[in-house]
Amino acid sequence: MAFLCLSYVLLVGFLSKSQLVTSQFNDKATVLVINEEIEVPGWGDNGTNFCNWRGITCNLNHLLVERLALPRLDLRGNVTLISELKALKQLDLSGNNFHGPIPSGFGNLSQLEFLDLSSNKFEGLIPRELGSLRSLKSLNLSNNLLVGEIPDELQGLERLEEFQISSNNFNGSIPSWVGNLTSLRVFTAYENELGGEIPDNLGSVSELKLLNLHSNQLKGPIPSNIFVMGKLEVLVLTQNRLSGGLPELVGNCQGLSNIRIGNNDLEGVIPKAIGNVSSLTYFEADDNNLSGDIISEFAQCSNLTLLNLASNVFSGVIPLSLDSL
């Protein structure tokens, strides 16, 4: 008799917005109420399994939602109830018109591995609760209206491979714990108001491939450690207040295709080790205080298609070997 009563509650009561019925056995009730909030085109079609609705991927039993991908649908509304989809591993809400704070309840999605909220109008602080997502591998909060500092609670995201927070209004400094994320491959925080120095441990314990921090207020040297592992492929640090020179260790990164360090306060000479960067395609170091000779080692970079050294204090002559580029 108790089983029949439970079945009645699940089948009859789930459409009420004021009394959301969640079940550990079936996410359909939750999905229907979420749709009342954000109105996804095609959701709720009669006679179809909710697991076949746009952007939904369920588990093997076709009962629990494991993936919700709704990018670029011009959606708006309250996304808080998505936090009731406890089996979610991937959540992509990018390129919509969601606004307001990021729901702190997203921190309860303990199985989440991928979270993309980029290109919306989310505002306020990064919820500290996101630091509870211990399975998270990719976090993209770029192109929103977020403010404040990067919360220290995120240092618990030890499996993070991609950390993207560009085009917001973050201030403060880049926390040193970012350099302790041993799985980190991509870190982008460009177009913010970040100051202080780039952590000197960044890249020293991970196989960092892409680092883009342009258009901030960063100062101090370019850390040598970002080149130690030799895995860096893209480095963009333009439009900051960086000083010192380009480290000799840049030669470790043979797969480095982009070096963009223009519009800073860099000085000294370009290291001859740049000739070891065989994959180099773009080298931009304009608007600095670099000096000495324009080195002939650039000619060893056979893939080089753009070399911008304008507005520096170089001396001597342009090497004839550069004619071969």
The enclosing domain of 271 has a CATH number of: 3.80.10.10
Number of domain units in the chain: 2
Q: Residue 72 burial by CB count (10 A; 0-12/13-18/19+): exposed, middle or buried?
A: exposed
- Residue where one domain finishes, among candidates 170, 194, 215: 170
Average pLDDT of the residues in 229-256: 98
pLDDT at 16: 43
Residue 43, domain member (yes or no) = yes
What is the per-residue pLDDT across 25-73, written as a single tens digit (0 to 9) for each?
689 999 999 999 999 998 987 667 899 999 999 999 889 999 999 999 9
Same domain, residue pair 134 and 185: no
| Angle made by CA atoms 222, 290, 194, in degrees to the nearest 5 | 35
Three-state DSSP state, 18 = coil
Same domain, residue pair 296 and 212: yes
Q: Residue 305 burial by CB count (10 A; 0-12/13-18/19+): exposed, middle or buried?
A: exposed
Residue 3, domain member (yes or no) = no
Tell me the average pLDDT of the chain. 92
Residue 291, domain member (yes or no) = yes
Q: Does position 5 have pLDDT exceeding 90, yes or no?
A: no
Same domain, residue pair 121 and 193: no
Same domain, residue pair 185 and 166: no
Same domain, residue pair 134 and 192: no
pLDDT at 205: 83
Domain that holds residue 218: 180-325
Residue 38, domain member (yes or no) = yes
Q: With beta carbons less than 8 A apart as the criterion, state whether 51 and 26 touch.
A: no
pLDDT at 8: 32
Same domain, residue pair 113 and 133: yes
Residue 1, domain member (yes or no) = no
Same domain, residue pair 185 and 140: no
Same domain, residue pair 18 and 75: yes
pLDDT at 140: 99
Q: Which residue has the tokens 């399975």?
A: 135
- Residue where one domain finishes, among candidates 170, 196, 211: 170
Same domain, residue pair 163 and 194: no
Q: How far is CA 60 from CA 10, 52, 65, 66, 146, in A?
A: 21, 13, 10, 10, 37
pLDDT at 19: 38
Q: With beta carbons less than 8 A apart as the criterion, state whether 321 and 297 touch.
A: no
Q: How far is CA 253 from CA 12, 110, 182, 225, 283, in A?
A: 62, 36, 18, 12, 14
- Residue where one domain finishes, among candidates 140, 170, 200: 170
Average pLDDT of the residues in 179-205: 96
> How far is Cα 199 from Cα 222, in angstroms, rounded to an integer?
9
Confidence of residue 2 (pLDDT cuts 50, 70, 90): very low
Closest CA to 208 of 182, 180, 232: 232
pLDDT at 323: 73
What is the per-residue pLDDT across 64-119, written as a single tens digit (0 to 9) for each?
999 999 999 999 999 999 999 999 999 999 999 999 999 999 999 999 999 999 99
Closest CA to 151 of 167, 159, 135, 163: 163
pLDDT at 278: 94
Same domain, residue pair 165 and 25: yes
Average pLDDT of the residues in 259-263: 99
Same domain, residue pair 151 and 16: yes
> How far is Cα 26 from Cα 48, in angstroms, rounded to an integer?
15
More confident: 273 or 42? 273
pLDDT at 25: 60
Q: With beta carbons less than 8 A apart as the criterion, state whether 59 and 84 touch.
A: no
Same domain, residue pair 71 and 153: yes
Residue 72, domain member (yes or no) = yes
pLDDT at 7: 40
Residue 288, domain member (yes or no) = yes
What is the per-residue pLDDT across 7-30, written as a single tens digit (0 to 9) for each?
433 433 444 443 344 444 689 999
Confidence of residue 325 (pLDDT cuts 50, 70, 90): low
Q: Does position 127 have pLDDT exceeding 60, yes or no?
A: yes
